[in-house]
Amino acid sequence: MLGKENTKEQVIDNQSRLIRMQKEDTLLSSSQQILKLPEGFTIGKAIGGGDCFFDAVAQGLRQLRPGMEFTVKSLRQVCKKLTLNDQQLRKQVIQDARNREDSTVILPQPGINDDELWNAYLDSIEYTVEDIEKMKSTNLPLHQALTGSKYGSTLQAPIWGRVEIEGRLICKKYNVKLHVIESNPWYTNDNQQEPFLHQLIDDSGLRNIGGYDKVDYNDGSILHIINGGYSHFEPILRKEVQQPLPYSDLTQVQSMLKEPYASS
């Protein structure tokens, strides 16, 4: 049984985690509409648990820049380095943490000032789901501090990647643009609305760009991701082209297929 002094804190933490799980596991019904993609592109899969945005972007970057290594961890570290002197991003992080218009956001505890929120972001953004899980056994006090609800749900580690915050930082670092597809909340079967909204973000900010045909999928500086619902992002990738086997390998396979099965 929980002690009285911990009951309220634990209940808030459990509520916050439940909301985060529901946001990831539930897809908007409108996202079930058929998404129009150019030939040669497909929707990939991203890991969950809070790292999906970074994983989706990392997969896209690996296709655009095959000579470089991109991981969830490396992109989180990029975000931490670039945020240190970014006052615009500081303002966005604090506003997002105090967003009273989003009923799914648990607000910071009373008395928490903006500097504390900013420091909480800097302390947490680099940690992946795997880091947080390992921390349970290696540094439980730090794990409890990073995953608690003191600073609100948007700053609980692992921090979920956001298009307009971490997305802008990654675009700035690698000089790319990020094309984001989201379900259109105003879409119905009997109206003229497109089922999906398309936005483009770069280091200067985010703008709406209309339909899918307004995006150049052959532009080597644009990454493509889709928000399948409640901030679960997945990459849109070029389909892998199957390379034909060299002649020597092909003849070896053919000879193996002709060999009779060994008797038992």
The pLDDT score that the predictor gives to residue 126 is: 98
> Is 21 a residue whose pLDDT tops 60?
no
Is residue 210 assigned to a domain?
yes
10's CB contacts (< 8 A; 6+ apart) are 2
Give the pLDDT of residue 48.
87
pLDDT band at 100 (very low <50, low <70, confident <90, very high): confident
- Count the Cβ atoms, other than its own, within 10 Å of residue 253: 10
Give the burial string for 154-174 (b: 16+ CB within 10 Å, else e): bbbbbbbbbbebbbbbbbbeb
Query: Which of 44-58, 64-78, 86-100, 230-244 shows the lowest mean pLDDT across its residues?
Result: 230-244
Place of tokens 């990738």: 237
Q: Tell me, what's the pLDDT at 136?
A: 95
Q: What is the average per-residue pLDDT within 45-52?
A: 93
pLDDT tens-digit map of 231-256? 899 999 999 765 555 544 444 444 54
- Segments forming the whole domain that contains residue 107: 28-238
In a domain, 134, yes or no: yes
Query: Residue 104: its pLDDT value, please?
Result: 85
- 257 found inside a domain: no
Tokens, residue 182: 């989201």
Q: pLDDT band for 19, please (50, 70, 90 cuts).
A: very low
Span 113-141, average pLDDT: 98
Residue 97 lies in a domain: yes
Query: What's the mean pLDDT when you consider all of the chain?
Result: 82
Among the ranges 29-43, 82-96, 115-129, which has the highest mean pLDDT value?
A: 115-129
pTM above 0.85, yes or no: no
d(CA 261, CA 264): 9
Tokens of 91: 């303002």
Eight-state DSSP code of residue 113: -
- Residue 260's pLDDT is 52
Q: Is residue 4 part of a domain?
A: no
Q: CB burial class (10 A; 0-12, 13-18, 19+) of residue 54?
A: buried
pLDDT at site 188: 66
Answer yes or no: is 3 within a domain: no
Residue in the structure block whose two tokens are 């500097």 = 115
Look up the CATH number of the domain holding residue 180: 3.90.70.80
In a domain, 264, yes or no: no
If one counts the domains in the chain, the total is 1
158 pLDDT exceeds 80? yes
Q: Is residue 34 part of a domain?
A: yes
Instruction: List helix spans (H) across the chain.
Output: 4-25, 52-64, 72-83, 87-97, 114-124, 129-138, 140-147, 168-174, 247-258
